[in-house]
Amino acid sequence: MRSYIPSYELVAPRDLAAALQKMATEPGPWKPFAGGTDLMVLLEAGKLPHRKFLSLYNLRELRGIEITHDQVMIGALTTYTEIRRHETLAREFPLLARAAAETGSIATQNRGTLGGNVANASPAADSPPALLVYEAELELVSSATSRWLPYRAFWSGYKQIALRPDELIRRIRLPRPSNANHWRQYYRKVGTRRAQAISKVCFAAAARIDFQRMAEVRIALGSVAPTVFRAAETERILQGESPTPALLRAAQETLAAEIAPIDDIRSTARYRRRITQHLLAEFFAMLSA
């Protein structure tokens, strides 16, 4: 336990408006604190430089999952457990349900929140690739403003996010496609072990098949670049084509060039690059089956 606990402030505003008000009058010093599963780890390692936190955990306005005919609205404080247990999400957004099931442990899933995960902006997080495939949008609110931002536009670099110091993530919107049953979906996280693992490569993908061609392809990757991202170049060469072995080889080459994996404490760039290519092949195999 490597931090000086008395120097940390944590206060619980009574509602969202109060929280936003505090962030508007004192922007920057007050950071949002949700479930704590990321921030407390940093605290215990002596690596949490900020000292003033707003506990959002009891703010009801940030909870709840709302379904309408064309979208799903997930409150920022929705936990992984709530995601896993939600019937519609499990059925229509299986990649997100899978990601939630592979995050940490049961105990982590009970406390960790989707909004917290998004705001933490780790390139190794498990849910973001799924959110990218589903073309999620974020509702960012401050005491005076409210805006929607495509999740794809959320980063400018490693942990550099487009969240202003006075803003909070309020909801995450997932469009509900009317042709959901035409989509084939794939998710694979390769970690250090079968449970409670940080990913070395995270591959989420979906393709809408139309007469044996990939009418639309979405491929999102984690842990192979400073941010999670959509492999747009690879998607481009796959778009409209049939999944043949020759196409796979070309796509693997493009994908290898599109990612920027590194050597780090968990794995190597070479491993990550090769495995990303292999997972693309596995996705192809699934599409051809």
d(CA 74, CA 76): 6
With CB under 8 A as the contact rule, which of the stretches 139-147, 194-202, 223-231, 254-262 interacts with another protein? 194-202
Shortest distance, position 237 Cβ to another protein, whole Å = 21
With CB under 8 A as the contact rule, which of the stretches 20-28, 43-51, 146-154, 204-212 interacts with another protein? 43-51
Any contact of residue 143 with another protein (CB under 8 A)?
Answer: no
Any contact of residue 106 with another protein (CB under 8 A)?
Answer: yes
Among 144, 195, 246, 289, binds another protein (CB under 8 A): 195
Any contact of residue 271 with another protein (CB under 8 A)?
Answer: yes
Shortest distance, position 199 Cβ to another protein, whole Å = 12
Any contact of residue 104 with another protein (CB under 8 A)?
Answer: yes
Shortest distance, position 65 Cβ to another protein, whole Å = 17
Task: Please give the structure tokens belonging to residue 30.
Answer: 């007050």
Any contact of residue 176 with another protein (CB under 8 A)?
Answer: no
**What are the residues binding another protein (CB under 8 A)?**
1-12, 33, 36-37, 40-41, 43-46, 51, 53, 55, 57-58, 81, 104-108, 110-111, 190, 192-198, 200, 265-268, 270-271, 274-275, 278-279, 281-282
